Chains A and B, each alone.
Chain A
Amino acid sequence: MKNPIQALNKIFDSRIRLGVMSVLVVNDSVSFNDLKQLLELTDGNLASHLNTLEQAAYIKMHKAFVGRKTNTTYTITELGKQSFKGHLDALEKMIKGI
């Protein structure tokens, strides 16, 4: 039998990145500030994790202006959805297998 640990996605090792994906998979579009509030993180910490996810093409960033302020929102990509689902399936298999 294949080792189920191999199916776990390295990018989702971090709880914060897993949290970001959990929020984005059930919401159409979420702003940076809402993510910060939901996951109780600092700006810098959240930004670096978002960057990792964006580079993996799991999420997409959208910049817009509300008055003079920038409003940054994030959406999940199709690849991100599939990877997240695959990761959850792998987690489930591990729990059932033990």
Chain B
Amino acid sequence: MNQQEQLDTLNDIRNIMNRSSKFISLSGLSGIFAGITALVGAYFAHQAIEKYLAGSYGYGIDADFNIELTLLKIGVTVLLIALLGGIFFTYRQSKKKNLPIWDSTTKKLLINLAIPLASGGFFILALLLNHSHAVALIAPSTLVFYGLALINASKYTYSDIRFLGICEIILGVIAMFNIGLGLYFWALGFGILHILYGTIMYFKYEKN
């Protein structure tokens, strides 16, 4: 046995360990795509809020209800488009790497992502139902719980995700104490950070 052979063996071992325990088909492009979608969504939300504050809704329309409905529609649309894009780019990446898209690592990643996200969802729902003035806390809460979800899921994919999670939580905490700037922090966290991170991941793991 020569040295090269030993090195190959060690490389094989590391490869198998990674492939069997981590979901490595995550594509940086899906991050960039989600970031752009979030920025576009934030722009529309900003327009809607401006319109609401200017009081340009006509008679017979409940302005408070209307703005909430508009924001909800924008939020759901952004989520769906970002998810579809994420699935598309991840599917492409797994084909390129010749790895199965649905195996035990996918399941582990999704479950660990979903636990903090679902808790956050219920928390925000309760906040809205019980405290009508807590609307401004929605954006900071989504950032914090999303950050927690990323940190929790980082054990099952590229560990870089952990640092992204920490950044999201820091942004969320700052936003909590700067009520009124929520949308800007939201655009920063979900838009700019995703684009930045997606680009870094793309050049680190895919561009070669």
Q: How many residues of A contact B (CB 8 A)?
A: 20
CB pair A15–B20 under 8 Å, yes or no, is no
Pick from B6, B16, B21, B104: contact of A19, CB under 8 Å: B16
Secondary structure at the B interface, as helix, strand, loop or mixed, is: helix
Q: How many residues of B contact A (CB 8 A)?
A: 17
Residues of A within 8 A of B19 (CB): 38
Among the 9-residue stretches B7-15, B53-61, B71-79, B80-88, the one with 4 or more Cβ atoms under 8 Å from chain A is B7-15
Question: Other CB < 8 Å A-B pairs besides A22-B17, A25-B17, 18 of them?
Answer: A5-B1, A15-B12, A19-B13, A22-B14, A23-B20, A27-B20, A27-B21, A30-B20, A34-B103, A34-B104, A37-B103, A38-B20, A88-B10, A88-B13, A91-B9, A91-B10, A94-B3, A94-B6
Residues of B within 8 A of A98 (CB): 3
Can you give 26 A-B contacts (C-beta < 8 A)? A5-B1, A15-B9, A15-B12, A18-B12, A19-B16, A22-B13, A22-B14, A22-B16, A22-B20, A23-B16, A23-B17, A25-B17, A26-B17, A26-B21, A27-B20, A27-B21, A27-B104, A30-B20, A34-B104, A37-B103, A38-B20, A39-B16, A88-B10, A88-B13, A91-B6, A95-B7
Task: Bits for A53-76, please: 1 = Cβ < 8 Å to B, else 0.
Answer: 000000000000000000000000
Residues of A within 8 A of B13 (CB): 18-19, 22, 88
Q: Output the nearest chain B residue to A5 by Cβ-Cβ distance.
A: B1
